[in-house]
Amino acid sequence: MNKEKIEALKERTKQLLLGGGEAALQKQRDAGKMTARERIDALLDPDSFQELGLFVKHQCHDFGMDKKEMTADGVVTGIGTIEGRPVCVYAQDFSVAGGSLGLSHARKITKIMDIAMDMKVPCIGINDSGGARIQEGINALAGYGEIFYHNTAASGVIPQISVILGPCAGGAVYSPALTDFVFVVDKVSKMFITGPEVIKTVLGEEIGMEELGGARVHAETTGNAHFFANSELECFAQIRKLLSLIPHSNEKQTEDRRPACEPKAEYADICKFVPDDPRQPFDVRNIVLGVLDDSDFLEVHQGFAQNAVVGFGRLNGQTVGVIANQPMVLAGVLDIDSSDKIARFIRYCDSFNIPLITFEDMPGYLPGVDQEHAGIIRHGAKVLYAYCEATVPKLTVIMRKAYGGGYIAMCSRHMKADFVYAWPTAEIAVMGPVGAANIIFRKEIKEAADPVAMREQKIEEYKDKFANPYVAAGYGYVDAVINPDDTRKYLIQALTIAQNKHVEPRKKKHGNPPF
């Protein structure tokens, strides 16, 4: 073998692995950020990364670009493993022309996505880019468009994860937005369509980058981010945790099963978390922890629309998606944000064969002009659509309130829940006792010598008769009224019998959900 050629390869590779050069890499580190290759190494199993496309060059000849080298065209792409399971990954290299996106850069990304789709493995994209490479003109735009097309094609086939570790602005934001999970890191991630300067020029509004599109804004206010971390390393640990829970393609399911284990002792007695008075709040996450294996729950969208709780855990070793109303925040109402959060989560689970477990304590929808005018009707409809459309096993536990439209929406029997359980504390009724008594007994209350006392009496009568689980159970809408202590046992039995559930979808191109 010609040794010189091997030495020449080593030298070439060494140069290319420096990305934009030692100085540019140091600048990145000085800004408190890891470099593209450091990120990949920290995310993947040690020594598992195989880089593809290191020698790719840009094809632009305008504006003196033909004389400019752009190492690996500013993006590191390749394959590797996480906990031994294969993944595809790309990381934009900010040290090379600010990670700007040209056509070759984009084609490297779409190529790695093609591999991910063909091989049925997750695709993780680390975004750190100043945006389109303006010298490449509309070819840069073509690049973005091709990435969006691939994101859409891969949706529901393989998990797509976006990690925002730097700026991600303008058109670039829409690739993450099309993917399943967006991870952000405090002080590092910046996402917006139009930046502070444009906003100031056009509207005269002054706002900093962090307040406009920082990590916290997207994790708490906009809901664009699903996971928030305080450091890049914490973020990578979150990604590894998520990938340990979710199936790695839409054709996989049971091989991801782990040995079952009991919830932790401190959560085992779930009754102690539930107050006697149905108007008093409690943290629904304690119930979830009391039911799931090892009391291990990975919350998605933890900071956004906290009146609903969604996330992944295992039940009897199998991954499940949990959806719960959170009485501790806004009494657990459905509003626009929580509807969006719940609906997107259901659709993710259904695409990837993850059974759904719904814990319900639902006082109703949030009243308000702002909610009505911002479209709670069409946003709320997403929850109905997602639950009705889902064909994975659907298990529902009605803990306390299940009133009116909220009762229907939260995976009721009528939307083809497979098993509906209720605790004896459940109140399943067409509306809350106060409102119902006011309408049904309007005449008696009005004509009574003491209307206030009469109203109280009628509310109590209504409560006794209807605010319980037994009316719904009498119609068969609830399958069993259970001791809360037995919740885990019932859910495991239901999940076991639902293993082979198969519903043939109706023939259609696709539905038309209220996006």
Partner 1 sequence: MEVLRLESGDYQTQLTMKFLKRKPYQKPQNIVSAAIPGTIMEVLVKEGQQVRRGDALCILDSMKMNNTICASDHGVVKKVYIVVGQSVGKDAPMVEFE
Binding site for partner 1 (CB under 8 A): 202-205, 220-221, 279-281, 306-307, 327-333, 337, 363-364, 366-370, 401, 403-404, 431-435
Which H/E stretch holds residue 378? helix 376-389
Provide, rounded to whole angstroms, the least separation between the CB of residue 289 and partner 1.
19
State how far the Cα of 14 lies from the Cα of 16, in Å rounded to an integer: 6
**Smallest distance, partner 1 to C-beta of residue 6, A:** 57
3-class DSSP assignment, residue 42: helix
- Element (H or E) spanning 320, and its range? strand 318-325
Nearer to partner 1, 281 or 513 (CB): 281
Shortest CB 365 distance to partner 1, Å: 8
147 sits in which H/E element: helix 138-154
Q: Could you tell me the smallest distance in angstroms from the CB atom of residue 307 to partner 1?
A: 7
d(CA 329, CA 209): 29
- Burial per residue of 47-56, b for 16 or more beta-carbon CB atoms within 10 angstroms, e otherwise: ebbebbbbeb
Report the residue number, 91 or 330, with the smaller CB distance to partner 1.
330
Q: What is the 3-state secondary structure (H, E, C) of 192-245?
A: ECCCHHHHHHHHCCCCCHHHHHEHHHHHHHHCCCCEEECCHHHHHHHHHHHHHH
User: If you ran DSSP here, which 8-state letter would residue 187 be given?
Assistant: T
Token representation of residue 379: 């946003």
Cα–Cα distances in Å, from 1 out to 4, 9, 10, 12, 82? 9, 13, 15, 18, 35
Toward partner 1, which CB reaches closer, 126 or 362? 362
Report in angstroms how near the CB of residue 316 gets to partner 1 at its nearest. 33
Sign, CA torsion 429/433/439/440 = positive
Residue 341 backbone dihedrals phi, psi, to 5 degrees: -65, -45
Q: Let me know: does 358 contact 410? Beta carbons within 8 Å.
A: yes
Parallel, antiparallel, or unpaired: how do β-strands 318-325 and 308-315 relate? antiparallel
Compare residues 150 and 401 and give the one whose CB is closer to partner 1. Answer: 401
Q: In the complex, what is the shortest distance from the CB of residue 326 to partner 1, in angstroms, rounded to a whole number?
A: 9
In the complex, what is the shortest distance from the CB of residue 408 to partner 1, in angstroms, rounded to a whole number? 15
- Dist CA 302 CA 226 (whole Å): 7
Which residue, 154 or 366, is less far from partner 1 as judged by CB? 366
Nearest to partner 1 of 221, 254 (CB atom): 221
Residues 6+ apart with CB under 8 A from 368: none
**Minimum CB distance to partner 1, residue 414 (Å):** 20
Contact 325, 306 (CB under 8 A): no
CB of 370 to partner 1, least distance (A): 5
- Residue count (the chain): 515
Q: Of 123 and 467, which has the nearer Cβ to partner 1?
A: 467
Cβ 429 to partner 1 shortest distance, Å: 9
Between 28 and 371, name the residue whose CB sits nearer to partner 1. 371
Q: Considering beta carbons, is residue 101 or 362 the nearer one to partner 1?
A: 362
Q: Considering the complex, what minimum distance in angstroms separates the CB of residue 329 from partner 1?
A: 5
Enumerate residues 6+ apart whose C-beta is below 8 A from 494. 393, 395, 418, 419
Q: Using the minimum distance from each CB to partner 1, give the nearer residue, 350 or 427.
A: 427
Q: Token digits for 21?
A: 């050069």
SS3 of residue 23 by DSSP: helix
Closer by beta carbon to partner 1, 45 or else 220? 220
Report which residue type is found at 274. V
For partner 1, the closer of residues 121 and 330 by Cβ is 330
Q: How far apart are CA 165 and CA 178, in angstroms?
A: 17
Task: Provide the Cα torsion 142, 144, 145, 150; round to 10°.
Answer: 130
Distance CA 515, CA 513 (A): 6
Closest contact distance (angstroms) between CB of 435 and partner 1 is 5
Q: Answer yes or no: are the C-beta atoms of 284 and 310 closer than 8 Å.
A: no
CA angle (340 as vertex; 307, 370 as ends), nearest 5: 75
Supply the DSSP symbol for 53. -
